[in-house]
Chain A
């Protein structure tokens, strides 16, 4: 398996994703500058977090028009794996690869802390190594992670088992107090209908080593590795 991490101007979790994939999960990985029109031959495309284009206009709204995005969309449409983390999730929403939109956090403040997320679906390439309902400790760091969609979309997401992660308590209870940003239905991560594109606000690359306080996020990379290898 091979992976590519897309680098936009203002991306700042690109090196973190690169490190988690290459040095920790031992996946051959390369970084791809957003002005490239073609992707190298890879199985997984990672759209990392950060402030692409300084969040100007709207998070992810400008990055979505970067030259590389056409190839990323083709890559996704051909059924190959894409994961967007934080700003990457926002870009996937703007690119129309995932449904819904992001609002500012309900506190109107940036929030960086560890959260617990509950695995709602383990029949995806991103979650195959987890048990149904498994709780992971993965941090968030964002100002606009308040996921929003209309009721029809929400119903469709649930009907097609597209809600992959929800914020919860350490023992899996749902509630406002465990939701760091006010997202609809406590949604932390979703996939597309084909289940090859994942968008999530929490940062698995920040919780891939015990030294950093949690290695739960590594299970996501290991699941992908296991599914695609």
Chain B
């Protein structure tokens, strides 16, 4: 592309190349009362891209806000979705948590290491921009079949990129969820979540209040890297996508560490007015959003922006997505104090402009006007589309499943071993040993638990976090799949003893212009909302990632949920794995003949078919309340959610992850079968019926547990005892724990380190 400068003629071709439709162009002319110049056209194109404007998803995302407004305890939601860079929830005692999940899928597909690294960098800036200190990171990752060398390359690069950035920042990465499926071939998903802690009265807004207040540019210099990344993220990946490599940014976690410390130090002074990171759409977005939120104007001069190379045009400077940069608005008269802090950290801090009267984002270049746009129009008045929806044709065929034609396996041991060694189920230790998951000395539950758990120093509290989404369920039934994603993420958090207090989501879908994709999107969001309502969990915001398609087609619809729970007393935490010989094992929740969408059906029978399990939200809620009551009374030795691979995999994991390799003798399954007439043995062992957990309790708590379950109306069945060195399950399974450990722990390592 030739350099775009003030002499460039605006042609219909140039407008189209910016992804702007003729109608949108007319709208721009109406806003300005004239034709835009090339710089302004570029600014509109990035701000009105799907990535920044949510133009295709807004009508659906509004449903989250509507749902939030109908929940009890509104007052705990301190910053709501869409208001700021990240949502904030009150956790009591003057503290709050600030969290968000965001995608970096397309950059990671092109350049996995930098794509994933800058994804981490971006989500961390969203957190400390709010004044919160980031205290943990999680990741939700999807790759193609791990047998494929290309999947291995992407997986290795993404993991190393995440490790590089998070480790250097000194923020523990506590795992998350990882699945491998052919639908992600060529379009991996990299969703990064961060959570920070903040004092309630120290929340920083990304708003440019106070006419005359100086606007500072701080952090790294601006280069030509990442030009138009937001627009790049808003189209499908194709064979030519590697030509977009210049749109992938390069991260410098050391710079971001300095930036974070300096910004948090600035927060402790009274000089700060507002902060906004320069992420997607860079200086364009930061300038117009801060002005728009405060209903003020902002004027900057690009000649003052520290640039990496000479000769950068206003167009390039405004659209650059160079990393590790912030826009900071401070009180007039406090400039010296502010500059001293950034000097201490050896960072650029340059006054590039000030807050002005009116509503314009005015951009000068050495005093000469380069662009002038009403800030609100640019930031908030982008086009909004109600896209067409149509029930996908594939569903009719995919949902068909005749269980009579599915034969029960002969060798249940072999099936369990196959499940345990599937990369989606097998231990991710190869991944999280590359992440510093202990720095900050707050990590109480390491990766591998149902939820990560950290303590909050200086309080009794703990924060539990889980990310989750079974996208095969969502593919087979978007509404039910969306419901389950929330329920399961909440259940994971509850298993650790924590009460869910809020969630963020990253909605990864294909091309929204296709009515079938939009139907998936709308249905999945409706399912998410259904569960949030029932479980009373507010949505604090998140991110939409469309156009996740490769030449092979769209990915499975993947609305990833990041669930956050609060544990009032960290001493009441509940681990996932078995603890002591002699503890009694119970299965809580009902088991049905549900094999549709199960990993058993996929791995043993080669079928990705059927309706996924049904989720009864009343049952789910009762189960979660039962667990929380039992945890609060310190009646639980362990609690583990049943998910992929069902009861057999859950029990195996309780043994494998126990400190001493404890076995279990589980011979009491008649109670479960009797409760459900005609229950198939494979459904009992490997089915994925919802709202179920395996718990273990000390014999002295047996009666209390039964009483608590009865009180909540939860079906509870005593099925066995912890002990021995093998998992013995109903006459069909007998496997030494050592053998399972070896397989489970080494599978991914063996694939990745095969020389």
Binding site for B on A (CB under 8 A): 9-10, 12-13, 15-16, 19-20, 23, 33, 35, 49-51, 53-56, 107, 109-113, 139, 141, 143, 203, 205-206, 208-209, 211-213
For residue B522, CB closer than 8 A to chain A, the reply is no
CB distance from A145 to the nearest CB of B (A): 13
Asked if A112 and B444 make an inter-chain contact with CB atoms under 8 angstroms apart, the answer reads: no
- Residues of B693-717 whose CB lies within 8 A of A: none
- Chain A binding surface SS class: mixed
Given A16-B439, A112-B437, 7 more pairs with CB closer than 8 A: A10-B254, A13-B170, A54-B168, A54-B254, A111-B434, A139-B438, A203-B438
| Residue ID in chain A nearest B255 by CB atoms | A54
B-side contacts of A107, CB under 8 Å? 753
Most buried by B among A10, A49, A53: A10
In angstroms, Cα B433 to Cα A19, docked, is: 24
In the A-B complex, the 10 residue pairs with the closest CB atoms: A12-B170, A54-B254, A51-B168, A16-B441, A141-B436, A112-B436, A110-B434, A206-B438, A110-B163, A113-B433
Q: From known contacts A9-B346, A211-B570, infer whether A51 and B167 are also in contact, taking CB-CB under 8 Å.
A: yes
For residue B600, CB closer than 8 A to chain A, the reply is no
B-side contacts of A55, CB under 8 Å? 168, 254
CB distance from B22 to the nearest CB of A (A): 47
A-side contacts of B345, CB under 8 Å? 9
A-side contacts of B441, CB under 8 Å? 16, 19-20, 205-206, 208-209, 212
Q: From known contacts A10-B168, A51-B167, A141-B167, infer whether A211 and B433 are also in contact, taking CB-CB under 8 Å.
A: no
B-side contacts of A209, CB under 8 Å? 441
| Residue ID in chain A nearest B438 by CB atoms | A206
B-side contacts of A211, CB under 8 Å? 444, 455, 570
- Residues of B156-171 whose CB lies within 8 A of A: 160, 163, 167-170
Most buried by A among B169, B254, B345, B444: B254
Asked if A109 and B160 make an inter-chain contact with CB atoms under 8 angstroms apart, the answer reads: yes
Asked if B160 and A50 make an inter-chain contact with CB atoms under 8 angstroms apart, the answer reads: no
Asked if A12 and B257 make an inter-chain contact with CB atoms under 8 angstroms apart, the answer reads: yes
- Residues of B432-483 whose CB lies within 8 A of A: 432-441, 443-444, 446, 455, 457
Specify which of B160, B257, B436, B457 is in contact with A10 (CB 8 Å cutoff): B257
In angstroms, Cα B252 to Cα A207, docked, is: 30
| Residue ID in chain B nearest A33 by CB atoms | B344
Q: From known contacts A109-B160, A110-B434, infer whether A13 and B254 are also in contact, taking CB-CB under 8 Å.
A: no
B-side contacts of A203, CB under 8 Å? 438
Can you list 26 A-B pairs with a CB-CB distance of less than 8 A?
Answer: A9-B257, A9-B345, A10-B168, A10-B258, A12-B169, A15-B440, A16-B440, A16-B441, A51-B168, A51-B253, A55-B168, A109-B434, A111-B433, A111-B434, A112-B167, A112-B435, A113-B433, A139-B438, A141-B438, A203-B438, A205-B441, A206-B438, A206-B441, A209-B441, A212-B438, A212-B444
CB distance from B680 to the nearest CB of A (A): 41
In angstroms, Cα B457 to Cα A33, docked, is: 23
In angstroms, Cα B443 to Cα A56, docked, is: 28
In angstroms, Cα B168 to Cα A139, docked, is: 17
Specify which of A10, A13, A208 is in contact with B439 (CB 8 Å cutoff): A13
A-side contacts of B344, CB under 8 Å? 33, 35
| Chain B 234-259 near chain A by CB (<8 Å), digits 1 or 0 | 00000000000000000011110110
B-side contacts of A10, CB under 8 Å? 168, 254, 257-258
A-side contacts of B444, CB under 8 Å? 211-212
Asked if B438 and A54 make an inter-chain contact with CB atoms under 8 angstroms apart, the answer reads: no
In angstroms, Cα B441 to Cα A213, docked, is: 10
Most buried by A among B253, B435, B436, B570: B436
CB distance from A136 to the nearest CB of B (A): 15
In angstroms, Cα B344 to Cα A211, docked, is: 36
| Residue ID in chain B nearest A112 by CB atoms | B436
CB distance from B345 to the nearest CB of A (A): 7
In angstroms, Cα B253 to Cα A55, docked, is: 11
In angstroms, Cα B346 to Cα A35, docked, is: 11
CB distance from A212 to the nearest CB of B (A): 6
Asked if A54 and B252 make an inter-chain contact with CB atoms under 8 angstroms apart, the answer reads: yes
Most buried by B among A9, A16, A33, A139: A9
In angstroms, Cα B455 to Cα A156, docked, is: 44
| Chain B 340-358 near chain A by CB (<8 Å), digits 1 or 0 | 0000111000000000000
In angstroms, Cα B438 to Cα A162, docked, is: 28
Asked if A141 and B439 make an inter-chain contact with CB atoms under 8 angstroms apart, the answer reads: yes
A-side contacts of B163, CB under 8 Å? 109-110
Specify which of B254, B437, B457 is in contact with A56 (CB 8 Å cutoff): B254
Asked if B257 and A51 make an inter-chain contact with CB atoms under 8 angstroms apart, the answer reads: yes
Asked if A112 and B443 make an inter-chain contact with CB atoms under 8 angstroms apart, the answer reads: no
In angstroms, Cα B254 to Cα A208, docked, is: 27
In angstroms, Cα B169 to Cα A55, docked, is: 12
In angstroms, Cα B345 to Cα A110, docked, is: 27
Specify which of A13, A15, A49, A112 is in contact with B433 (CB 8 Å cutoff): A112
Asked if A51 and B254 make an inter-chain contact with CB atoms under 8 angstroms apart, the answer reads: yes
CB distance from B28 to the nearest CB of A (A): 42
Most buried by B among A9, A35, A112, A213: A112
CB distance from B183 to the nearest CB of A (A): 28
| Residue ID in chain B nearest A7 by CB atoms | B261
In angstroms, Cα B163 to Cα A143, docked, is: 10
Asked if B253 and A54 make an inter-chain contact with CB atoms under 8 angstroms apart, the answer reads: yes
A-side contacts of B446, CB under 8 Å? 213
| Chain B 565-579 near chain A by CB (<8 Å), digits 1 or 0 | 000001000000000
B-side contacts of A205, CB under 8 Å? 441
Specify which of B255, B438, B570, B753 is in contact with A112 (CB 8 Å cutoff): B438
Q: From known contacts A54-B168, A211-B455, A212-B444, infer whether A9 and B439 are also in contact, taking CB-CB under 8 Å.
A: no
In angstroms, Cα B378 to Cα A186, docked, is: 60
A-side contacts of B253, CB under 8 Å? 51, 54
Asked if A212 and B443 make an inter-chain contact with CB atoms under 8 angstroms apart, the answer reads: yes
CB distance from B173 to the nearest CB of A (A): 9
| Residue ID in chain A nearest B159 by CB atoms | A109
In angstroms, Cα B442 to Cα A213, docked, is: 11
Asked if A9 and B167 make an inter-chain contact with CB atoms under 8 angstroms apart, the answer reads: no
A-side contacts of B570, CB under 8 Å? 211
| Residue ID in chain A nearest B458 by CB atoms | A23
Asked if B168 and A112 make an inter-chain contact with CB atoms under 8 angstroms apart, the answer reads: no
A-side contacts of B439, CB under 8 Å? 12-13, 16, 49, 141, 206
B-side contacts of A113, CB under 8 Å? 433
In angstroms, Cα B55 to Cα A215, docked, is: 53
In angstroms, Cα B317 to Cα A71, docked, is: 44
A-side contacts of B258, CB under 8 Å? 9-10
CB distance from A16 to the nearest CB of B (A): 5
A-side contacts of B252, CB under 8 Å? 54
A-side contacts of B257, CB under 8 Å? 9-10, 12, 51, 54
CB distance from B599 to the nearest CB of A (A): 28
B-side contacts of A112, CB under 8 Å? 167, 432-438
In angstroms, Cα B570 to Cα A19, docked, is: 18
Most buried by A among B167, B253, B438, B753: B438
A-side contacts of B443, CB under 8 Å? 212
In angstroms, Cα B170 to Cα A10, docked, is: 9
Q: From known contacts A211-B444, A211-B570, infer whether A53 and B254 are also in contact, taking CB-CB under 8 Å.
A: yes
In angstroms, Cα B436 to Cα A50, docked, is: 11
CB distance from B251 to the nearest CB of A (A): 11
In angstroms, Cα B170 to Cα A51, docked, is: 8
In angstroms, Cα B257 to Cα A53, docked, is: 10
CB distance from B318 to the nearest CB of A (A): 28
CB distance from B160 to the nearest CB of A (A): 7
| Residue ID in chain B nearest A35 by CB atoms | B344
CB distance from B266 to the nearest CB of A (A): 16
A-side contacts of B167, CB under 8 Å? 51, 110, 112, 141, 143
A-side contacts of B457, CB under 8 Å? 19, 23
CB distance from A221 to the nearest CB of B (A): 13
